[in-house]
Chains A and B, each alone.
Chain A
Amino acid sequence: GQNIDQPTEMTATEGAIVQINCTYQTSGFNGLFWYQQHAGEAPTFLSYNVLDGLEEKGRFSSFLSRSKGYSYLLLKELQMKDSASYLCAVRDLWNNYGQNFVFGPGTRLSVLP
């Protein structure tokens, strides 16, 4: 089966660091993505991992361990505008094209002053 788990909600303080975890079980694996989604808006791309290790992109970093089926998104120097849902998505590979994406339920992050 296909399953992606993320914490439902997290709260952090402005200026702090927060780590959002994601664990996945899919029939295949062809990349893991993180998206940010503000309430009432469409998701926007944050990061992509296909090999194990850390990808850094400004205040955002994402880590992947394929053997553990685990990823995290690290947000540094939190700002109020970072309050949003963070979606973990795995590109599955259950047929030759490997372009079907399985999204997690999202983690709603609240940044407090």
Chain B
Amino acid sequence: DTGVSQDPRHKITKRGQNVTFRCDPISEHNRLYWYRQTLGQGPEFLTYFQNEAQLEKSRLLSDRFSAERPKGSFSTLEIQRTEQGDSAMYLCASTIADIHYRPDEQFFGPGTRLTVL
């Protein structure tokens, strides 16, 4: 399977704990995005990487959230001191920015569903 993968698919944690999610984009994709989605809502943009550089971060994103993409391939999203309001589906998407491709279509992973008790 050469699509976007995310791990774990489900995570249940207690309030106050730290959690880390991983995303493996499509191998040749240089752009990677993280989103959060709650039931009945569209995805909410969290942050974006081009290669290893984090170029944009939502103004609404708490400083408890941090993301890395150390080698320009996989990425991790960490949430510190989780709160019940963090319960959501966390989606990763990737795309390729290249003059020979339309830099438009994002390929989404299956998501990590976080439940904070």
* Bound together: yes
- Quick one: which of B14-63 are within 8 Å of A by CB? 31, 33, 35, 40-45, 48, 50, 55-56, 58
A33 within 8 A of B: yes
Residues from chain A with a CB closer than 8 A to the CB of B58 are 100
Residues from chain A with a CB closer than 8 A to the CB of B102 are 48
Whether B48 and A97, one on each chain, are in contact in the complex, defined by CB atoms closer than 8 angstroms, is yes
Contact string against B for A residues 30-66, beta-carbon threshold 8 Å, 1 for contact and 0 otherwise? 0101000000011111001000000000000000000
Contact string against B for A residues 94-111, beta-carbon threshold 8 Å, 1 for contact and 0 otherwise? 010101111111100000
With A87-B43, A100-B45 known as contacts, the answer to whether A48 contacts B104 (CB < 8 A) is: yes
Give CA–CA (A48, B48) in the complex, Å. 19
Whether A103 and B56, one on each chain, are in contact in the complex, defined by CB atoms closer than 8 angstroms, is no
The count of residues in chain A whose C-beta lies closer than 8 Å to any C-beta of chain B is 22
Residues from chain A with a CB closer than 8 A to the CB of B48 are 97, 99-100
Whether A95 and B104, one on each chain, are in contact in the complex, defined by CB atoms closer than 8 angstroms, is no
Interface residues on B, range: 20 to 34
For residue A87, which residue of chain B has the nearest CB?
Answer: B42
Chain-A contact segment, one of B68-76, B77-85, B107-115: B107-115
Whether B56 and A43, one on each chain, are in contact in the complex, defined by CB atoms closer than 8 angstroms, is no
Whether B56 and A95, one on each chain, are in contact in the complex, defined by CB atoms closer than 8 angstroms, is yes
With A41-B110, A42-B111, A95-B56 known as contacts, the answer to whether A101 contacts B104 (CB < 8 A) is: no
A89 within 8 A of B: yes
Whether A42 and B110, one on each chain, are in contact in the complex, defined by CB atoms closer than 8 angstroms, is yes
Residues of chain A having any CB pair with chain B under 8 Å? 4, 31, 33, 41-45, 48, 87-89, 95, 97, 99-106
Q: Nearest 4 A-B pairs (CB), nearest first?
A: A103-B42, A42-B108, A45-B105, A48-B104
List 14 extra interface pairs beyond A89-B43, A101-B43, A106-B41, CB under 8 A: A4-B42, A31-B104, A42-B91, A42-B109, A43-B91, A48-B105, A88-B42, A97-B48, A97-B55, A97-B56, A100-B48, A103-B42, A103-B44, A105-B40
